[in-house]
Amino acid sequence: MIRVEDLEKVYDSGDRALDGVSMEVGGNEIVAIIGPSGAGKSTFIRCINRLTEPTGGSVWLDETEVTALGGSELKQARRDMGLIHQEFNLIERLTVMENVLSGRLGYMSAWRAFRRDFDAEDISRAREVLDRVGLGGHENNRADELSGGQRQRVGIARAVIQRPKILLVDEPTSALDPETSIEVMDLLTEIAREDDIPVLINIHEVDLAVEYADRIVGLSDGRVVFEGTPEELDEQAKDTIYRGGESREERDAAAEARDANAGGSDDRDDGLPEDVTQRTAREG
Ligand SMILES: Nc1ncnc2c1ncn2[C@@H]1O[C@H](COP(=O)(O)OP(=O)(O)OP(=O)(O)O)[C@@H](O)[C@H]1O
Ligand SMILES: [Mg+2]
């Protein structure tokens, strides 16, 4: 189980990406985090495993306070939290098998990891996991030969081979077509149920969240503004979540404009970047 208490992240730029987020995810539930671009969804997932260092609050994995760990203990905790990325994050020139085995690197000595000296048990487990995600027979394909859906399956296999206690998933379908998105969501659901682990998943397609999640959390401006079942996510709730996508200044300005009944001017220059989504560099 993951428990997050009052998590806060203020970037060096002064951007307050998380402003006191608390939640619990356990059992084999699928929790979808929805919210507009810039709401803090990716920051939230990355702060849970501390790829991004939170500036306040705490994260617990079962009885372990992840935010208090360092060194090898943190490394161990990270292995317990399988991370699945939006852009797959595969090593392009390596094979499917090598990419999946790279999920095992955290368990090996530095020297063995450097030599990619995997043992027979790892290899047979990788085959099992690849069969499970529907990639049996593709072990020796290079990652850059695969379709988007197949690449995401490699990403899932690489996370699952660690036998994680939770899956953290950041926008797994945003680079995929609708049909492939459904296959990937089905696969994640199957893993949650079969392995009996929770899945915390950032997703911006509200329809997919409603269809697959047991619970939905709406994030806006770094705060939880909705939490409920898919049935409870009505138009008003969506409005609250997505209207929060405007900056506070924009909302205040809009309210002021309404109050003054000014109308007329659509000019807006808030100086904010349009898209600050971070792309992870690929090894090529
Ligand atoms: N590395 C960074 N340095 C500074 N600010 C950042 C960084 N990463 C994100 N931010 C800021 O933090 C806020 C939340 O960004 P984040 O990427 O977590 O949002 P998101 O909900 O995942 O958005 P998207 O739907 O576009 O992926 C944004 O205002 C963004 O500008
Ligand atoms: Mg994001």
Domains of the chain, first to last: 1-80+164-263+270-284 (3.40.50.300), 96-161 (no CATH)
Residue nearest to atom 6 of ligand 1 (CA): 11
> pLDDT class for 199, splitting at 50, 70, 90?
very high
Higher pLDDT among residues 273 and 166, named by residue: 166
Range 258-284 average pLDDT: 42
Q: Where are the alpha helices (DSSP H) in the chain?
A: 41-48, 71-79, 96-101, 110-115, 120-132, 148-160, 178-195, 206-212, 235-243, 248-259
What is the 44 CA–ligand 2 centroid distance (Å)?
9
pLDDT of residue 109: 66
What is the 51 CA–ligand 2 centroid distance (Å)?
14
Range 120-126 average pLDDT: 89
Q: What are phi and psi of 133, to 5 degrees?
A: -90, 10
Q: Is 86 in the pocket of ligand 1 (CB under 6 A)?
A: no
Whose atoms come closest to the Cα of 278: which ligand? 1
Q: Which of 15, 205, 274 to mutate to test the pocket of ligand 1 (most atoms within 8 A of CB)?
A: 15
The structure's pTM equals 0.84
pLDDT of residue 87: 79
234 pLDDT more than 60: yes
Torsion sign (Cα): 153, 159, 163, 164: negative
> pLDDT class for 121, splitting at 50, 70, 90?
confident
Q: Is 40 in the pocket of ligand 1 (CB under 6 A)?
A: yes
pLDDT of residue 117: 73
Q: How high is the mean pLDDT of the chain?
A: 86
107 pLDDT more than 70: no
Query: Which atom of ligand 1 is nearest to 46's Cα?
Result: 18
Query: Which of 193-202, 231-240, 244-253 is predicted with the least confidence, judged by mean pLDDT?
Result: 244-253
> pLDDT class for 209, splitting at 50, 70, 90?
very high
d(CA 200, CA 212): 12
Whose atoms come closest to the Cα of 34: which ligand? 1
92 pLDDT more than 90: no
d(CA 200, CA 275): 24
Range 135-141 average pLDDT: 94
The first and second tokens of residue 209, run together, are 């969240």
267 pLDDT more than 60: no
